[in-house]
Each structure stands twice: as C-alpha cells, then as structure tokens.
Structure 1
Amino acid sequence: MASAAQYRGLLQVRARFFSLLPQAAAGVRNKTTVQFATRPDLPKLAYRKLKGKSPGVVFLPGFASNMSGQKAEALEEFCKSLGHSYLRFDYSGCGASEGRMEDYNIGAWKKDVLFVLDKLVEGPQILVGSSMGGWLMLLAALARPEKIAALVGIATAADHFVTAFNTLPVEARKEIEERGSWSFPSRHSEEGSYTLSLDFLKEAENHCVLQSPIPVSCPLRLIHGLQDDDVPWHVSMQVAERVISPDVDVILRKQGRHRMSEKEDIKLMVYTIDDLIDKLTTLG
C-alpha cells in the first residue's frame, strides 16, 4: 500500500512525463542497450529491456515493423518515468533479430512472444500489440494466461491476412494459388507492396481467433482509428464481442489512421496504459 505522500509523488512523476509529450514520443534520450537472446536451433532475438516493478509492459510491433518505432520508444520513456519494467523486441527475421522475414510466419512469431514471456520477463505483463502485434498478443494470452495482467491493442489486426485473402474475388484467389504468392500494395513498404507466400497464408489459418469465443479474461483495451485503411476498425469490435472478459473498452479515434503514431494517438495510448497500471496496482 502506498502512502498519500507516495501517491502524490507518483502523480507528479506522471504529470512531468505527460508534459513532455510529444517530446518523449520523438525518441528516448537514454535508450536501453540492444541485447540478443540465444535460442537452440532458432534465430537470436534482439531486444531492449528496462528493469522495474510489476506489472511490466511488453510491446509487440506490427508486421514488417520493429522495436524502434515512435510508440515503442515513447512507452519506454513512460515506463522509465514510473519505474515499471518494459521490454521491446524484434520478431525473427525483423529489425535487428536474425533471419529473413520471408522465412517466418504467424506461428513462428507467436513462439517469439512466448519465449519473451517465458525467459526474458518476470511477473505479470501488460502486452501492448500494434496491428499484427495485437493478433499475437491475443494468441499469447491464450497460451500463457497466468503471465498476462492486461492487453492493449492498437489497430488490432486479428486474423487480418486470412480475412483479407478470403475477401478477394474468386478469380484473384485462384491466380494467387497458382502463382504460390500474394503481392498486395502497401504505403508502409519502401517497395510499395508486400509479398506473402501461400504457405504463410495457409499457416496463418491455424491461428485465427474470430470464429468463436476467445477465452481471454484479463482487462482488454482496444484503440482503433476510424480512418484506418489497412485494418477496418470493426475488427476491434469483433475482438471485443468475442473475448469472454467483462472488462473491455473500445476507443475509436475519428481521425486516427492505421499506425496511430501521431502525437495525440501516442498520448492516448500512454494514458490508457497509465489507467490500467492504476487499476492493477493497489494504491492507498
């Protein structure tokens, strides 16, 4: 139990941090050091870890993204300001981790998240998943419920690749199946598109969560932009409907786009996590 004086001090720390936004979102001044986790017969995982109290926060990037984005860095600064532990990392084949991205899939990246939860962090964690990371956080919560304190999804892309493929015209799907790969345009790619193998799509089907109730019972917060041209905001509504947890909030931003990396978007993300930490932590 915290004393009234300690609680006032905590509020002052938070006020100072929020007054620094968006500067904190622009980059962490004293970054944690990149470390590498060695795993038998698996690529080394690059990560940055900040030690601190529970609950910890773990950031899960989106597809073809890495741990150096604005949201990930702002979260590190926020956790540092409160003294909470924080970890961000790159999936196999992404960022500073070993491997080629095209050699991995949803199942492999799920294993990366579970390795982080099993080996690199201690105590209950708040998982913050961006886009595909929101899908992976749900899979991790299903596999390791005892390690999850709460979930925060940013433009959660649950089942996204499978849903997008299945909504293509029959002729287009047949062409992709004959070719063995699917190239789709994306403003987030330097080449203007991403290519997924048919094997990637078939494997992803094994990890879909939206066809039935999702037995996740922890607090869940879902933030989505109404201007998201990549993952429709109604996906977050589907997730909210299907999880069994009674403690679910969906926050829609009228001008929000997919990456949710504008200054006000990052403020909302941090406020949401701050509120969850308050909820999960007993304060006198």
Structure 2
Amino acid sequence: MSYNEKIDATLADTLTTQDGETLAYYHLLGSKPGIMFCGGFMSDMTGTRSMALENFARKRGQAFTRFDYRGHGQSSSSFREGTISKWKMDAITVFDSLTSGPMVLVGSSMGGWIALLLALARPERVVGIVGISAAPDFTEDLMWAKFDENVRHTLITERVYLKNSDSFDQPYIITMDLIEDGRNHLIMREPIPIKAPVRLLHGMRDTSVPYQLSIILADRLKSEDVQLHLVKDGGHRLSTNRDLSLLMRATSDLLEI
C-alpha cells in the first residue's frame, strides 16, 4: 500500500504563541484518538513521514495535526534562535490549541525527544507514542559529548558552530544556547515516568542517531508496553515504502489499544 499520494503541502494555517511567534500548522478533523507529528531538527512539516501520516489519517477518518517549530519551515523566527525549551513550548501550544481528547504522538529524531517531553507535560491526554529514530538528550550525548576540544572552544567563544550533516545539504547550526538549554530537559539519566504504550522504530545503519539509543530508551521508560523494531538496513530517515508501512502499523496499533 502506498502512503505517498500527493497532498498540497503548502496549505497551512497559523497560530500565535504567547511570546508573539507565528507557528504554521495543518489540522485535519476526524475521530479520536488523534495523531500529532513532531518533526526533527532542521526539518519541516512537509516531509515524507508527516505527509504519509496525513494520508494514513485521512483514509481512516482520524484527526491529524502537523506543524513547524519556530525557525523551521513556514513558521516565524530564525533557526539559530531555537532551543529545546522553545520548541517544546511550540509543541505544547499546538497540542493545547488545536487538539482535544486522547492523542497519539509521533516524533522523528529530535521530535522523539519533543514528543516525550510533551507526554510528560500532558500525561492525561497522551495515550501512545511512536518514536522514529528518536533522539532524546541529543544536544548533550550526540553533540557536546562527541565534540572535540576545538569545536567546544568555538562554541564557548563564538556561541555558534556549523556542523556538516549527513542528512541535509546545508550544515547544522549549533549554538551554545541550544547546548546549555538542552541540559534543562535531559530525560535519559533516570527512569522516565511515561506509562503510555510506546513503539520505537530505528534503523541499524543510522549514522546520525545510533540505534542503541532506542534500546536504552526502551529500558528507561516506565511503561510496560514498549516495543522496539530495528530495521537492519535502515538509515536515519526510515522513509522507504517498507519503512512507512512499518510506521503506519505501529501507529495503527496504538490507535486501537
């Protein structure tokens, strides 16, 4: 089954945050539980996984929401000014303003971290989480801990570092504000008090986020209903038709619990 039917991804509405930023979003009315997609670092809401999920939700008659964090896609602000705190609050703003009732969160890469933070903030409404190459604590464990002394010196003195990316044509913009703020949201150091069912999907050839992180995450979560699916030849994006079918099965599983 194909989930790549064409949808006009340019159609977006906007809402305004408490601090005056404009967030672009698309919201599809439908049955509950609804689905909300949280994108990755430097990604936007028109990517393969989010649009495939919208097709999936539309065919099921399911409520669905996708959005751009500030500094991403069609939303306001610059990417360089973004932090985990700001992107978390953007997700909460969209969640509170546009959705109602039980929700399944789907988070890709950084969006997996954001989805976990959102579930911790709104545990009464989040009934399931799907993580795609989830990257909780990536600012500390996949950035700062991996940087050599020269990169750390650049960040400390210049407050910004441009890092070549395997996933994007342009370099990652990494700021010291992002690193420092990320330390306020680390969740992998102790058990994570999320009890909702969780499905984790990760490619074993992911060169951006090691699949071992999902194994550790599965252990940290307090939920007893956690399933991890490793794709041996899968990369970071997990966006082939086979990967998308896996994503839809995981999402459908949580919608029907």
CA RMSD of aligned residues (A): 1.6
Is the partner of 1:76 in helix, strand or coil?
helix
Question: 1:116, 1:175 → 2: CA distance?
Answer: 35
Match of 1:119 in 2: 97
Q: Would the alpha carbon gap of residues 32 and 185 (structure 1) be closer, same or farther in structure 2, given more than 3 Å must change? A: closer
The CA distance in 1 between the partners of 2:169 and 2:21, in whole Å, is 25
Q: Deviation at 1:69?
A: 0.6
Number of residue pairs matched by the alignment:
256
Q: Which runs of 5+ in 2 are unaligned?
A: none
Are 2:145 and 1:145 aligned? no
Of the three residues 224, 232, 245, the one matched with 1:267 is 245
Deviation at 1:97, TM superposition (A): 0.8
SS in 2 for 1:25: coil
> Matches of 2:23 and 2:150 in 1, distance apart?
39
Deviation at 1:44, TM superposition (A): 1.1
Could you report, residue by residue, the CA deviation over 1:81-135 in whole angstroms, capped at 9, with x for unpaired residues? 1111000000011101111111111100000111111111011110000000000
1:156 is the counterpart of 2:134: yes
Cα contact 2:17–2:93 (8 A) shared by 1: no
Please tell me the residue identity of whatever aligns with 1:248: V
Structure 1 residues 1-284: aligned runs within 5 Å? 19=1, 21=2, 24-28=3-7, 33-164=11-142, 165-170=144-149, 172-191=151-170, 193-279=171-257
User: Residue 171 of structure 1: CA displacement?
Assistant: 5.1
- Give the conservation status (yes or no) of the 8 Å contact 1:215–1:243: yes
Residues 50/201 of structure 1: CA separation in 2 closer, same or farther (3 Å cut): same
Equivalent residue, structure 2, for 1:14 = none
The structural deviation recorded for 1:58 is 0.2
Whole-angstrom CA distance in 1 between matches of 2:126 and 2:83 = 23
Q: Which runs of 4+ in 1 moved over 4 A?
A: none
Distance 2:243 2:86 in 1: 30
**Tell me, what secondary structure is at the counterpart of 2:4?**
helix
Supply the distance in 2 between the matched residues of 1:32 and 1:247 (Cα, whole angstroms). 37
% same residue: 36
Listed as ranges, the gaps of 5+ residues in structure 1 are 1-18, 280-284
**Whole-angstrom distance in 2 between the partners of 1:52 and 1:31:** 19
**Which structure has the larger Rg over C-alpha atoms?**
1
Question: Against the structure 1 CA distance between its residues 242 and 130, is the aligned structure 2 distance closer, same or farther, given a 3 Å change threshold?
Answer: same
Partner SS for 2:242: helix
Report the TM-score, using the length of structure 1 for normalisation: 0.86
User: Partner residue of 1:12?
Assistant: none
Cα deviation code 1:19-68 (max 9, x no counterpart)? 3x1xx32533x669411112343211110111001000000010010110
1:146 match: secondary structure = coil
Query: For residue 25 of structure 1, what is the amino acid of its counterpart?
Result: N
Q: Please give the alpha-carbon distance, in whole angstroms, between the structure 2 residues aligned to 1:146 and 1:33.
A: 31
Deviation at 1:175, TM superposition (A): 4.2
Q: Would the aligned equivalents of 2:204 and 2:233 in 1 still touch at CA under 8 Å?
A: yes
Contact preservation (8 Å) 1:151, 1:221: yes
- State the shift of 1:232 in Å: 0.2
User: Counterparts of 1:31 and 1:170 in 2: how far apart (Å)?
Assistant: 42
TM-score between the two structures when normalised by the length of structure 2: 0.95
Single out whichever of 180-189 and 146-155 deviates more from structure 2: 180-189
Hey, what does 1:7 align to over in structure 2?
none
Compare the two structures and name the one with the higher helix fraction.
Answer: 1
- Cα distance in structure 2, aligned partners of 1:146 and 1:160: 26
